[in-house]
Amino acid sequence: MKAAVITFPGSNCDRDLAVALQNAGAQVTRVWHKDQDLPEGTDLVGVPGGFSFGDYLRCGAIAAHSPIAAALRRHAERGGYLLGICNGFQVLTELGLLPGALMRNSALTFICKPATLNVLTTDSAFTAGYRKGQQIGIPVAHHDGNYQITPDGLARLQDGDRIAFTYGPAINGSVGDIAGILSENRRVLGMMPHPERAADPALGGTDGAALFCSVVDGVVNA
């Protein structure tokens, strides 16, 4: 499986994401935000956490207008897989590839701590390695992770079984305690917690490793 990990000015989890994908068996290429195209044959694109362009304007807003943005849209439109983590989730919403928006945390503070997530669906390449209803421990580190969407939009997510993860307990004010969502075709996942920081015993936890192994195996066997 061929994966590409994007780096923007201010990304700080790009290497961690690349390592997690490599450890799961993916062949990973690093891509700079000024590139116009993804490497040929790319199956999965990872949009990492960090503070792209210093989080000026809105988190992810400038990154969504980088030269590589058009290639990300084309990749999604042809059915490619996309994983956006933390700032990457913000970028995917700014690109219009996922619905809703990430707002300032309800307590107006930066949150950096272990979090408990509930797995709401296993019907995706990203979550098939978990059990529905399973609780996993994944770290969070964000200031603008408060996921908001209209009532109609929330109903569409719920009716389509597109809420991948929720927080338990709530941590940032997200509607429905949402921590991660899927696109309509289930090939784009955006999540605020950092599975790449829980993918190696040396990091203190391995609950995130199943996500990377799952998507790599799912793409290879698709």
pLDDT tens digit sequence for 25-82:
999 999 999 999 999 999 999 999 999 999 988 999 999 999 999 999 999 999 999 9
- Of the candidates 13, 75, 142, 196, the residue annotated as catalytic is 196
Residue from 71, 67, 47 nearest 59 by CA? 47
Residue from 50, 98, 102, 92 nearest 68 by CA? 92
Report the relative pairing of strands 2-7 and 44-47 from DSSP bridges. Answer: parallel
86 catalytic? Reply is yes
Q: Using an 8 Å Cβ cutoff, are 36 and 67 in contact?
A: yes
65 catalytic? Reply is no
Q: What is the Cα–Cα distance from 207 to 222, expressed in whole angstroms?
A: 23
Mean predicted lDDT score pLDDT of the chain: 97
Q: What is the Cα–Cα distance from 188 to 9, expressed in whole angstroms?
A: 23
H/E element, 20: helix 14-23
At 141 the pLDDT is 97
* ∠ Cα 191 192 195 (to 5°): 75
- Of the candidates 86, 94, 142, 213, the residue annotated as catalytic is 86
Output 76 or 204, whichever has higher pLDDT. 76
13 catalytic? Reply is no
